[in-house]
Structure 1
Amino acid sequence: MSISDKVSMFYNAKPHIFEKAKMLRKNMTQAELKLWAKLKGKKMLGLRFRPQHPIDIFIADFYCHPLKLILEVDGGIHKSKEQKEYDIGREGELENWGMKVIRFTNEEIENEIDLVMKEIKRICEKRKSELPQSPLQGI
């Protein structure tokens, strides 16, 4: 991976964001672990997802760079008014970079993992068809 690939994939995230992401990877929630078990090893359409991935000042729960797709796993805190407002602003910033953010609740992952995986597959297929082909080669 070249330097320019790292800059584009991490959107100039600073070292402290990488440290925080590393800590989050070591302390993933049960729902995140369950989803990660289904995504790791390119199990989803041969796509590589990265857990707790630094992007600028943010950390995405799961990120697929070729599709610019972020999967977020929302626990109870995401129901608060303040957190909802923060999430909306964060999504707006990420979407400015051409990323798509998809959210699932802990409950959806814990209780309906097969439906969650079907939805992720549908979204991945849609993103593949929407994005220019050159960045998707070799995935």
Structure 2
Amino acid sequence: MPHAVVSERQRSRAKQLRRAMTRAETLLWRYLKANRMDGVGIRRQTPIGNYVADFVCFSSKLIVELDGESHDFEERQKADQQRDAFFVAEGFQVLRFTNEQVMSNLEGVVEAIRQAASARARGLPPSLTLPHKGGGNIDTSQDHSVITDKSRGTQP
């Protein structure tokens, strides 16, 4: 796949972010890198346009973003919405997880990513409801246990 032109500033920012990844980003990266998710290639801290995506799978046009506590503020959430709109306009699907979700339910997060990447590769919508930060009054801890149980092949 040909590389998009990336400014030196964006390239430098991406390198800096790779060196200063959060604990959740590091944990998820180690898992994704070690298990290669069914042979699907994923890159970390990748510049796309004026943004740097936490994780991207170009073959499935999938972006995974991890949100820490700074994303709890309204201003940051608006910026995230603009960022997501840009990625969607570029043909990507964006999955957002909190750092806490990764730390407490790594297998469930990875399974959600695997299913979304697989569905996108086949051109189908994902078959499972993905956890979403700020999803209203839904208790996401229940959703995670279901995802974890499915990843183990057992029924909740």
After TM superposition, the score normalised by the length of structure 1 is 0.85
- Indicate the residue corresponding to 2:65 in structure 1: 72
Q: Which amino acid aligns with 1:116?
A: V
- Indicate the residue corresponding to 1:17 in structure 2: 10
Shift of 1:103: 0.5
- Indicate the residue corresponding to 1:45 in structure 2: 38
Provide the rounded CA distance (Å) in 2 between the counterparts of 1:123 and 1:35: 16
Of 20, 29, 47, 1:27 maps to 20
- Indicate the residue corresponding to 1:6 in structure 2: 3
Q: What SS does the aligned partner of 1:43 have?
A: helix
Q: Which sits farther off after the overlay, 105-114 or 35-44?
A: 35-44
Shift of 1:13: 2.6
Higher relative contact order (CA 8 A, sep 6+): 1
Q: What SS does the aligned partner of 1:45 have?
A: helix
CA RMSD of aligned residues (A): 1.3
Provide the rounded CA distance (Å) in 1 between the counterparts of 2:60 and 2:10: 22
Shift of 1:42: 6.0
- Indicate the residue corresponding to 1:101 in structure 2: 94
Q: Which sits farther off after the overlay, 99-108 or 37-46?
A: 37-46
After TM superposition, the score normalised by the length of structure 2 is 0.76
Runs of 4+ in 1 over 4 A off after TM superposition: none
Shift of 1:41: 4.9
Identity %: 35
Q: What SS does the aligned partner of 1:44 have?
A: helix
